[in-house]
Amino acid sequence: MAKYIIEKSGPLRGTVEISGAKNAVLPILAATLLTDEPCEIMDVPALSDVEVMVKLLESIGSRVSWDYRNKIITVESGKSLRNEAPRELVSLMRGSIFAMGPLLARTGRAKFPLPGGCAIGARPVDLHKKGFEALKAVVEMGDDYMEARARELIGGHVYLDFPSVGATENIMMAATLASGTTVIENAAEEPEITDLAVFLNKMGAKGKGAGSATIRVEGVESLHGTKHTVIPDRIETGSFMLAAAITRGDLLLTNVVPGHVSAVMSKLSECGVVFEENDEGLRVRADVNPLVATDIKTMPYPGFPTDLQSQFMSLLTVVRGHSTVTETIFEGRFKHIGELNRMGADIRIEDRKAEVEGGQPLRGARIRATDLRAGVALVLAALTAEGETEISDIHFVERGYEEFTQKMTKIGANIRRVED
């Protein structure tokens, strides 16, 4: 198992190129199952989660080639596909379930073990089931699997009790080959959903409304191959914004869409961070004003993203003032707090609220990443801590951040990746 060894680092300075979005590329790769023609996906990040999705597609019967140098994956899902996904792959990544909707639409049957991934709280598949049933599929739930069958998918109306990103995407994909029109209400509005919709429409789908609370998909008989470039990763963008902030640095982020991170920019501006947009990208300056605390509350997009809550909390531990962090999405997303407190932070938890007394000096410690985003939060805290910090279980970080140590080292972070 690998670990990070980190020592206190001065202000981070330089340029960071943001990679393609993990949360966009996974459903897009799954959507290639909807056609038997080749699809070419560009700006694909080299991540362990992407590797799992590639292996999953291959296990179903797709032919996949990955040009790592040019960040291009080509998928050809021929006319003969398997209906079931292997447990050993699905257990590694929750995003595996994205392949279920396309496989059901193409073959009339899909059986998947219940997926794994980061343990950050309940992420039930009930809404996926509800969506498939709205398309007139018969869905059977076992203790550890879900199976959907349909001689023909028929467009229907589904209201999501919660704007689930995964359920919205899975229903969208299944609906592309259904008879008639499907309407999804209270749909998730994340940019990754819009990116998936763009890809599907390039394939010949007829979808409207992605990025809003109501999505309409008019089914078509078949889809064709296409080429598509994945959007930049807004969570990586926000993470490097916070890296600049916590070290009082000055970073230029390239390949970004500022509109995708407007909620994070707003909160960082309240703390005193200055942003400058130019032709090169987005400049993040935390060396202009003294930084102070602010409150954050996670919400579905376009609200503050839960995937940046833990990283922002690391910043709040070291800036002046008291702050409250409210987590409304995942009940298990405070596991990093115990590790931060071991480093000297002063954070108290009450239900889904964390009270942070900022301005505490942090010290190096032996700690472990509890999930993907928490791992990066601990790295950010370690950059400001006196002494040496050792972070284990960094495989979580490598699920979602491409060339993380290289990017951090390039801008001045004192971080090493070592094998135990």
**What would the pLDDT profile of 269-322 be if each residue is shown by its tens digit?**
999 999 999 999 999 999 999 999 999 999 999 999 999 999 999 999 999 999
CATH number at residue 198: 3.65.10.10
- Same domain? For 246 and 160 the reply is no
> Which distant-in-sequence residues (6+ apart) come within 8 Å of 56 by Cβ?
85, 86, 89, 90, 96, 99
Judgement on whether residues 268 and 383 belong to the same structural domain of the protein: yes
How many residues would you count in the chain?
420
What would the mean pLDDT of 23-50 be, rounded to a whole number? 97
Are 380 and 404 contacting, i.e. CB atoms less than 8 angstroms apart? no
Residue where a domain terminates, one of 190, 212, 229:
229
Q: Are residues 136 and 246 in the same domain?
A: no
Same domain, 15 and 38: no
pLDDT tens per residue across span 81-140: 999 999 888 888 877 899 999 999 999 999 998 875 444 344 468 999 999 999 999 999
- Between CA 266 and CA 248, with CA 381 as vertex, the angle to 5 degrees is 55
223 and 257 assigned to the same domain:
no
Name the residues annotated as catalytic. 118
Query: pLDDT by residue (tens digit) across 128-178?
Result: 999 999 999 999 988 888 999 999 999 999 999 999 999 999 999 999 999
For residues 11 and 36, state if they share a domain. Answer: no
Question: What value does the mean pLDDT take over residues 400-412?
Answer: 96
Residue 33 shares a structural domain with residue 107: yes
Biggest alpha carbon distance in the chain? 63
- Report which residue type is found at 387: G
* Residue 255, domain extent: 2-19+232-419
- Give strand ranges (E) for 150-286: 157-159, 181-185, 206-208, 214-218, 227-229, 250-254, 274-277, 282-285
Average pLDDT in the chain: 94
Domain shared by 286 and 367, yes or no: yes
Q: How many domains does the chain have?
A: 2
**First-to-last C-alpha distance (Å) of the chain:** 6
